[in-house]
Amino acid sequence: MYLIERQKKMLGLLLSSDNWMTGIKIGYILGITDRTVRNDVKNLNEALKEYPKSYVEAVRGKGYLLVSEYRKELLEQVEQTNVNETTKGRLCNLALEILTVDEPIMLDDLEEDFFISRTSLEATIKSINVQCAADGVQNAVRRKKNAIYTECEEEERRKLIRKFIVISEEQSGEMLKDEYGFLNREHTGILMKHICHVLAKQGMQLMDKDMMELVLYLYIQCMRIQKGCLVTMKCGKTRQSVPRMLWKIAEELTNLLEHDMKVRYPEKEMILLTCHLSDVRMMKVDRFSKKEIEAIIEPRYLVIVEEMLNDIKNDFMLDLTKDEELFVDLILHIRFSIKFGKDSPHQGNPLLETMKNQYPFVFELSTYIFSRFYEALGIELNENQLGYIAAHLGAALERLENRESGSDLKIAVCSNMNLAVIRLLMAKLHSLYTNVEISGPYPVYDIERIISEEPAMIVTTTSSNIFREVQIPVITISPMLESEDVLAINKKIGELKREAVVPGVSNGIEQYFDEELYFPQLEMDSRESVLQFLCRKVVKKGYASEELLGNTLEREKIAPTIFANKIAAPHPIRVCAYKTVIAVAVLKNSVPWGNLEARLIFLLVVRGSDMKYMNSFFELTSKLVWDKEKVRKLIEIEQFNDFIKKLA
């Protein structure tokens, strides 16, 4: 049941009375007009359809009466409204009232309209100014004797109006739902329909959040133009400097709005609309080409992204420079991130922890981009933004893996089962892995022939012990190919594909551990104390410069290097190692590390020539993230050799 704040209050009033309530009385209590009461009753009756035979009866001359056998359940809906939400609703409604009216408003009128005391009114106005100041507009709401008014540039006023329109998390479909009833739903529906129509003609579309932002921008722009309030600030652009495609979209949109809303769009407003369109993540249904993106995006972003991809190629031996999809996606995402800032609510990332735990290598590549971007523009990207960049990089890496290794992969099947079972197993494997060569089945006695044909991996229904001398990955599976077998095969295929494009460590990762840099049962009380201890030990051994601690703390500021299962893998943001080494701290008690806790810490100190092995180093942590039992045993081990043996 979706109700805005005001409608919940109205429902509460009707629930509290067994008698008829007039629209005038409801309007007086809620501080709204009789017309708004009638509109809200319509919405209430729509929402009440969830409860059989429940409705608000309206009779001329009597008023309104709630009819329902579910009064207890409806009361629970109303009681979900808390004091903080009521205060927030009052602040937003009051701010919108002040910002959208162009003449001074008497304080007495506001007291009466919002059913609020003078003390509460003045406190709310003060809070509005504080929030406006956070957006760079000082003293937007001013007082003159017994009246208040807004004083700021028109473009700033529109941004502030947007700030106080709270969109419901439940908004969906063809219209926006705002929490406090400011928007006209019919109007937003028309805007959305026009935007979809115009973009479809250009073969383009928007993601949900971008559609919401564009609808709100046009809603506010149109509302202000209708009132004769035009922008006076200079945006630094002319019609000739606007990309032709964006002008065409703006022109078609404004033509439709002029017809529907009976409003005339001046050229300056159209130019501002194109500026906003250039900041929207507009997608072609069949994607932008690199050439198309170069025509509508500022050259500096093109240069920066090209340099980033070249840096990744040189430092990590990973060539993503030929991936046009990645190039376009990075430019659009980074430009959007810069526009809205690192603290914008638009930058939330529900998959951040998943990205860090399952794809630590590509997340690390994204932090590499952070440092390059900061050096070029002095702009910081936050952890959520880096998570999205990591997703783009991960997609590019998947595409590269499929191009480089997909059809060359061969899986050999070895089984001692009877013929019928083997045929069923082979049929299942062929149906699941259409892009992989499945060879066999081979009998157990023919291991030499299996090895001579050089498969990438072996799957067998027998014990893997018979392959203990074989240097090829072996996976033991059930003859019926259970779901966990498929997961194990898929995981190994992913690793093999990754190894085909990203250099892997030869002779095992254990070569980078040092017994003198292994510290079991360490007593520490903070992340900083752990890092100070480990960095000091590494520097003392002569494996890194004195900059190690500073560079490692700087990397932690970008995004904490914490993973699930109490594992952390700190490392410096810049190369400062003379020798690649992994220092280990096993803590007696967990310490706070970002928004999680850490107990098993691997300090990765990697020299420049070994940066190409970063994927192998992070595979170490990504495997441990999902193995709680192994981590538990590692934490209990005190001897270095036992620790390395268990780890390997």
Could you read off the pLDDT of 2-59 as tens digits, one per residue? 677 678 888 888 887 888 998 888 887 776 777 788 888 988 888 888 888 899 999 9
The whole-angstrom separation of Cα 186 and Cα 176 is 10
**Does 528 or 283 have the greater pLDDT score?**
528
Best-predicted range by mean pLDDT (219-233, 256-270, 522-536):
522-536
At 270, list the tokens. Answer: 């159209």
- With a pLDDT cut of 90, the percent of the chain lying above it is 34
Question: pLDDT value at position 350?
Answer: 62
In contact, 255 and 282? CB cutoff 8 Å: no
Question: pLDDT value at position 345?
Answer: 44
Is the pLDDT score of 138 beyond 80? yes
Is the pLDDT score of 580 beyond 50? yes
Mean pLDDT of 386-406: 79
In contact, 121 and 107? CB cutoff 8 Å: yes
Mean pLDDT of 353-371: 77
Comparing 110-114, 212-216, 248-252, 324-328, which segment has the lowest mean pLDDT? 110-114
The whole-angstrom separation of Cα 424 and Cα 460 is 14
Question: pLDDT value at position 502?
Answer: 76
Question: pLDDT value at position 517?
Answer: 95
**pLDDT tens digits, 475-491:** 999 999 999 999 889 88
**pLDDT tens digits, 31-42:** 677 778 888 898
Best-predicted range by mean pLDDT (94-103, 302-311, 322-331, 532-541):
532-541
**pLDDT tens digits, 108-134:** 888 877 767 788 888 889 999 999 998
Q: How are the residues of the chain apportioned to helix, strand and coil, as percentages rounded to the nearest 5?
A: 55, 15, 30
Q: Which residues contact 37 (CB under 8 A, 6 or more apart)?
A: 10, 23, 26, 27, 30, 64
Residue with tokens 């430092």: 315
Question: pLDDT value at position 578?
Answer: 95
The whole-angstrom separation of Cα 156 and Cα 162 is 10
Mean pLDDT of 618-635: 85
Question: pLDDT value at position 340?
Answer: 56
Question: pLDDT value at position 346?
Answer: 47
At 425, list the tokens. Answer: 């197993």
- Max CA pair span of the chain: 99
Q: How confident is the model at residue 547 (pLDDT cuts 50, 70, 90)?
A: very high
Q: How confident is the model at residue 332 (pLDDT cuts 50, 70, 90)?
A: confident
Judged on CB neighbours under 10 Å (0-12, 13-18, 19+), 332 is buried
Residue with tokens 């019926």: 480
Mean pLDDT of 251-265: 89
Question: pLDDT value at position 251?
Answer: 92
Question: pLDDT value at position 348?
Answer: 57
Q: How confident is the model at residue 391 (pLDDT cuts 50, 70, 90)?
A: confident
**Does 369 or 638 have the greater pLDDT score?**
638
Is the pLDDT score of 360 beyond 70? yes
Mean pLDDT of 521-538: 95
In contact, 513 and 641? CB cutoff 8 Å: no
